[in-house]
């Protein structure tokens, strides 16, 4: 009990002394909360499109009759055949809270009533994509994939590493040699290229839920080897500890000793390593989806949202297409800052 209290005290001290770490926790908490509540926070459904609003810019807010509102928009074409959106300032549609089962949005009847004369109202806080889908809504739904894949993938790879490294370090001998050679085989293979190869061998027309599961499994099975070697070293150093020797003398089965006494001593290190490893899984999934090998449209993740920002021309004409990259950057940076603070708190060599 005292050990647990001391650990929590060190965690509080580490995060309290680092404004960046506290900010990282707030950012991560906000991102995961938004992912859980995406169906309520998003103004539109994930694939709710309006082709008449292709690449519509972020909506301009106006204060009309004491309420925040937007003006309906219509478009014309410039000399380069690009859409130019023009607001109809003579009409306004109020932005309401708790409408259509969502936190905020436009009343569907009010929006439809303004669709005369070619102008129509859609709420785009962060702009629209090429099919007129709300970028904010797709970001929120996509965060469910991009943020969960890291946790699920790290959980699976950590479990594999814990089993393999624990068995190799505790039993030694031929078990150690066999398992470590297996680890070295996996470590010699370039991870991202293996990831692309394995994903490319799977059918591209699979349902996105199956694709998600396949990506998680592939990421997990190529990311455990290095961690297993570290755990093996930690367990090896514990084999001569007094409580391990005493348990053996009392006739406790080896697997029980490993599970109850040896492996729990590695959990502090595993917590640090898992926190620092999650960004790698998030970036790997985003890279696959960016290349068209991951989550497929109409399903969404931060990676496949960045597909529309693959050219300089698109970025120049529609700069809001880069916003998913900002979310990805914020999540990865926050995980790294939180992991550093966690390492400072749980590192046994720390003086604090």
pLDDT band at 308 (very low <50, low <70, confident <90, very high): confident
Q: Are residues 115 and 222 in the same domain?
A: no
Q: Are residues 297 and 317 in the same domain?
A: yes
Backbone angles phi, psi at 84, to 5 degrees: -125, 115
Radius of gyration (Cα) for the chain, nearest Å?
26
Half-sphere exposure in the Cβ direction for 268 (13 Å, CA): 19
| Cα–Cα distance measured from residue 270 to residue 315, given in angstroms and rounded to the nearest whole number | 40
Q: Are residues 263 and 171 in the same domain?
A: yes
Task: Give me the DSSP letters along 297-340.
Answer: TTS--HHHHGGGGSSHHHHHH-GGGGHHHHHHHHHHHHHHHHHH
- When mean pLDDT is compared across 39-53, 78-92, 165-179, the lowest value belongs to 78-92
Q: Are residues 85 and 229 in the same domain?
A: no
| Cα–Cα distance measured from residue 123 to residue 102, given in angstroms and rounded to the nearest whole number | 13
Average pLDDT, the chain: 83
Please name the residues in contact with 86: beta carbons below 8 A apart, sequence gap of 6 or more.
73, 74, 75, 76
The β-bridge relationship of strands 62-64 and 67-70 is: antiparallel
> What's the domain range around 310?
2-36+136-346
In a domain, 151, yes or no: yes
For the entire predicted model, the pTM comes to 0.85
pLDDT tens digits, one per residue of 261-292:
888 888 888 888 888 888 888 888 888 787 77
Please name the residues in contact with 26: beta carbons below 8 A apart, sequence gap of 6 or more.
none
Domain edge (last residue) among 88, 108, 131: 131
Which has the higher per-residue pLDDT, 273 or 194? 273
SS3 (DSSP) at 147 = helix
Q: Is the dihedral of CA 34, 129, 300, 336 positive or negative?
A: negative
Domain edge (last residue) among 131, 163, 178: 131
* Most confident among 10-24, 182-196, 241-255 (mean pLDDT): 241-255
- When mean pLDDT is compared across 80-94, 180-194, 236-250, 324-338, the lowest value belongs to 180-194
Backbone angles phi, psi at 253, to 5 degrees: -55, 145
């Amino acid at each position: 009990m005292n050990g647990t209290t001391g650990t929590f005290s060190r965690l509080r001290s580490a995060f309290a002394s680092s404004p960046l770490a506290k900010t990282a926790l707030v950012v991560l908490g906000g991102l995961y909360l938004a992912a859980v509540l995406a169906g309520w926070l998003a103004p539109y459904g994930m694939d709710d499109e309006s082709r008449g609003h292709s690449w519509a810019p972020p909506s301009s807010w106006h204060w009309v009759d004491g309420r925040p509102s937007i003006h309906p928009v219509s478009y014309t074409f410039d000399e380069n055949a690009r859409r130019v959106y023009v607001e109809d300032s003579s009409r306004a549609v109020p932005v309401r809270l708790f409408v259509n089962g969502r936190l905020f949005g436009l009343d569907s009847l009010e929006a439809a009533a303004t669709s005369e004369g070619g102008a129509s109202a859609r709420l785009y806080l962060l702009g629209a994509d090429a099919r007129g889908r709300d970028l904010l809504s797709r970001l929120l739904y996509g965060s469910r994939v991009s943020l969960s894949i890291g946790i699920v993938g790290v959980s699976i790879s950590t479990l594999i590493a814990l089993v393999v490294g624990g068995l190799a370090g505790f039993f030694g001998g031929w078990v150690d040699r066999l398992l470590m050679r297996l680890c070295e085989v996996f470590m010699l293979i370039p991870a991202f290229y293996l990831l692309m190869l394995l994903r490319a061998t799977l059918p591209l027309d699979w349902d996105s839920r199956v694709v998600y599961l396949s990506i998680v499994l592939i990421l997990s099975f190529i990311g455990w080897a290095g961690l297993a070697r570290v755990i093996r070293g930690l367990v090896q150093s514990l084999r001569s500890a007094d409580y391990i020797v005493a348990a053996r003398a009392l006739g406790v089965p080896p697997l029980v000793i490993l599970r109850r006494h040896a492996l729990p001593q590695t959990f502090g290190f595993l917590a640090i390593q898992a926190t620092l490893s999650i960004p790698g899984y998030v970036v790997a999934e985003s890279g696959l989806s960016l290349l068209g090998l991951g989550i497929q449209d109409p399903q969404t993740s931060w990676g496949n949202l960045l597909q529309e920002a693959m050219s300089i021309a698109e970025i120049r004409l529609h700069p809001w297409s880069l916003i998913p990259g900002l979310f990805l950057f914020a999540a990865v940076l926050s995980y790294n800052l939180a992991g550093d603070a966690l390492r400072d708190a749980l590192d046994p060599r720390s003086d604090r």
